Structure 1
Amino acid sequence: MTDFVFEVFVPNGTPTHTYVKRAEEKNEEKLAAALDMPKMVISISGPSKTGKTALVDTLLTADRIIPITGQSLSSSNDLWQSVLRWIGGPEEVEKIKERILKAGAAGKVSAEAGVIIAKGKTEGEINGGIELSAATSQKFGIEFFESVVKELNESDFVVFLDDFHYIEEEVQIEIAKSVKAITERGVRVCVASVPYKSDDMVRANDELTGRTYSILFDYWTVDELKFIASSGFSALGVDIAPAIIDKIATEALGSPQLMQSLCLNLCLEKGIRNKQVLEERTEVSEAEYRAALERTTLQTDYSRTVEKLHTGAKERGTQRKEFTLKDESIGDVYRAILLALIENPPRLSFDYDEIMGRINKVCIDKTPVGSSVQLALKQMDGIAKDIKRDAPVLEWDDDKLEVTNPYFMFYLRSSQKIDHIHKKKSGMV
């Protein structure tokens, strides 16, 4: 039997005990309204790890969502074939023409029989009282689009296309056209992307202007994140000091998923796995708090990315200037920038002046000149894009640095990786 703590704090799924309805955002109400609008493409955009998928999973029952990820698509044909495969077509996707009602009034066709079969079921298996058999079948070939229309039009099912921004630009254009066409035929489609790519669907097909209902997410506030902790600890019968909850919520950097992970790992660090008898406050020492943070970094690994950003761009014939830094290390402009980013308070967005101010704090004596910092930031932007073109962990644009993934910044702050690089370079490990 699964320990209760894993049901309370759910980093990689849809929570129940700790689901927070964001009153100011009203995204639940917006999504519900959008689903009622005919022939409308729903666009959900927001930063990574801010609850876009959890919103859809919470508002719609799991058996209504047909999840497809953009990373797997190289054509619109791939999209609709994936939809058919999810709702039950075999690998070669055969068209089932005869559906038999197994339970209920004999000889009557169920309204649910328009859907081939639920995910995970096989042909002929009973699901919800309906047995599906193939008296006659034919290969779909290029008919995936029309077959999806036949199976899903005017139904309650929703095709949830996540990570649209990962799709190649030419393929986006093709898919955007087919999404527009299929919504006009009564199939519900919801597309999710990151903020700076939120208009990719409309740009791929300008005929979607006025036919797209946009729901925008933002990073969570500290108070919203604290509610995850307070509701979860309450469900477990645990009393954690408000000061500790404040620290965790600040460290979560606006991500509810990261907040779930931090709370879960704090419980595991304290040996809390099931509901407690609430008698007294559960004390958390600084060592236990730091151990919970480090335990959370084990759920993601950005060690290669940090190493490449720390090394910086290769330069020929030029010796980089080095600086004495407050962590008692000596490093170049790249190390100074990384140390500046992990200074308190935790942030994901920095303008140029703030970066320079933080660099001044981490340098003991001399500091890098502004032109050197700007060049290094530009090169770090390129390094991040070389590692992952579609989803770089940071971006530098003129005079603003954006860390696009809260987990990367958390790893940078809490994994001890930067300290390890220094010790390795100095021969201390």
Structure 2
Amino acid sequence: SAEQLPLSDAVVMTTSGQNTAAKTGQAQFAVNFGVANMGVSINKTNGAAFNQQLAMTNNRTERQIIQYLIDNDKVLVIDDFHYVAREMQMYIARTLKTELFNGLKAVIISLPHRSDEAIICNPDLIGRTTSIEILPWTAAELKAIAVKGFKLLGMPIGEAEENLLAQESITSPQLMQENCFQLAFAAMQKKQPISLELVHFAFKQTARDYAHYERLVKAIVQGPVQGIGRRKLYALAQGSVDIYHLLLLAFKADPPVTELSMVTLKERIKGLLLSKELLSSTIISATINKIIKIVEATMPDLDALEYKAQCLYILDPFLLFYLRWK
């Protein structure tokens, strides 16, 4: 961070008193304060008791910081660029245009579907940037965790169980590791060989660790309080639900994926409904946007859902897993 760079600070020391007959003087001098010279200014009132105050302020301008990075061949890394306010994104993009020309090296990390935001903020960056996409973990890569881990534990596991673990871990190696842990623990505790039934049990044990999502799920199912008694109900095999509950069921339907286009959402909804009724894109989009507002109000710090260009992005695989296995 900027605070850790070896750049100079400015120190200001002041003294004050109440003697009306006193004379006031000022002196300035430099002090070596470890890593850099400090400019010190003293205001002194003679003939009076006074209180001393010492204030240190950073003298680190944006230009100094960037020049330090350039001179020392450092790379500026801006993580989670998608969280930055739009106005600040525009400012960063304008600054980068100039400083890249001066020799600055910068890396901007953002979500895949928002990787073009820096260029959108400043089209002049076209030709000055290179996009590197880091793909999510594949099912084969996740499966390798189970293959290697259970072999080291001396626990035989079938390919069907390995595939199910990889599928339900939804591109997340952390979730895969936790599911494997719960499965191994259950197998030792129950003294049973690994089976599909035991894998299902392990998933439910993992879901218990994410019970903090329960409040959020209930808020989504309830939907906005306004108009709750006038909502249309849709008939499903398991009963009638309103539009909010219906979409939540569509989100978690098979197969578990973190990107749902409007076409896919409509197909999933059609598969849930007993009737041949089709929901319009307008109704689906409006409801998704309201669900996102519910998420933001219920758990403000949770970056869970995003809807862009008629595609729903489930940013939190742990939430999707909880929806499927709670």
What TM-score, normalized by structure 2, do the two folds share? 0.70
Partner of 2:173: 256
Contact 1:312 1:379 in 2 (8 A): no
Q: Among 369, 372, 395, which residue is 2:307 paired with? A: 395
Taking the aligned partners of 1:362 and 1:149, their CA distance within structure 2 comes to 59
Q: Is the 8 A contact 2:9 2:59 kept in 1?
A: no
**Mapping for residues 57-72 of structure 1, pairs under 5 Å:** none
Equivalent of residue 9 in structure 2, options 79, 82, 94: 94
Q: Within 5 A, what are the aligned runs for 1:107-126?
A: none
Counting only pairs closer than 5 Å after superposition, residues 71-86 of structure 1 correspond to structure 2 as 83-86=1-4
Q: 1:154–1:147: structure 2 CA closer, same or farther, 3 Å change rule?
A: closer
Deviations 1:138-191 (A, max 9, x none): 6543524414532x3354643322110111111112222333444444443211
Corresponding position of 1:290 = 200
- Secondary structure of the corresponding residue to residue 318 of structure 2: helix
Equivalence for 2:42:
none
Q: Does 1:136 align with 2:15?
A: no
Correspondence for 2:184: 267
For the aligned residue pairs, the C-alpha RMSD in angstroms reads: 3.6
Residue 341 of structure 1 corresponds to which residue in structure 2?
251
The 2-side partners of 1:396 and 1:180 are apart by 27
Please state which structure has a larger fraction of its residues in strand. 2
Residue 146 of structure 1 aligns with an amino acid whose one-letter code is Q
Task: Give the aligned residue type for 1:141.
Answer: N
Greater relative CO (CA pairs within 8 A, separation 6+)? 1
Q: Which runs of 5+ in 2 are unaligned?
A: 11-32, 40-56
Aligned equivalents of 2:199, 2:82: Cα separation in 1: 37
Q: 1:359 aligns with which of 253, 269, 293?
A: 269
In the alignment, the residues of structure 2 paired with residue 378 and residue 182 of structure 1 have an alpha-carbon distance, to the nearest angstrom, of 41
Shift in CA distance, 316/343, structure 1 to aligned 2, threshold 3 Å:
closer
Residue pair 1:173, 1:204 contacting (<8 A) in 2 also: yes
Is 2:230 aligned against 1:319?
yes
Aligned equivalent of 2:319, options 402, 408, 429? 408
Q: Does 1:165 align with 2:87?
A: no
**In 2, Cα distance between equivalents of 1:251 and 1:344:** 10
What amino acid is the match of 2:170? L
Q: Give CA deviations for 1:193-245 in whole Å, capped at 9, x if unaligned.
A: 01222111122223322111210133333223212332344455544222111
Matching residue within 141, 146, 156 for 2:64:
146
Q: Deviations over 1:102-129 (max 9, x none)?
A: xxxxxxxxxxxxxxxxxxxxxxxxxxxx
Matched residue SS, 1:284: coil
- Assess, with a 3 A threshold, how the Cα gap between structure 1 residues 265 and 314 changes in structure 2: closer, same or farther: same
Following the alignment from structure 1 to structure 2, what is the Cα–Cα distance between the partners of residues 223 and 358?
Answer: 26
Aligned length: 281
Identity %: 27
Over 3 Å counting, the alpha-carbon distance change for 1:147 and 1:319 in structure 2 is: closer
2:157 aligned residue: 240
Q: Which amino acid aligns with 1:136?
A: N
Whole-Å separation in 1 of the counterparts to 2:138 and 2:229: 45
The reply on whether 1:384 has 2:292 as its aligned counterpart is: yes
Deviation readout 1:18-43 (Å, 9 max, x if unpaired): xxxxxxxxxxxxxxxxxxxxxxxxxx
Alpha-carbon contact 2:253-2:268 (below 8 Å) kept: yes
Between Structure 1 and Structure 2, whose CA radius of gyration is higher? 2
Mapped partners of 1:267, 1:94: distance in 2: 55
- CA deviation after TM superposition for structure 1 residue 372, in Å: 6.6
Aligned amino acid, residue 131 of structure 2: S
Verify the 8 A CA contact 2:9 2:60 in the aligned structure 1.
no
Please tell me the residue identity of whatever aligns with 2:222. Answer: T
Answer yes or no: is the 8 Å Cα contact 1:240–1:282 preserved in 2. Answer: no
TM-score (norm 1): 0.55
SS at match of 1:214: coil
Name the SS of the counterpart of 1:395 in structure 2: strand
The match for 1:302 is 213
Q: Is the 8 A contact 2:258 2:314 kept in 1?
A: yes
Amino acid at match of 1:179: L
Out of 404-413 and 138-147, give the one that drifted further. 138-147
Gaps of 5+ in 1: 1-82, 96-131, 273-280, 416-429
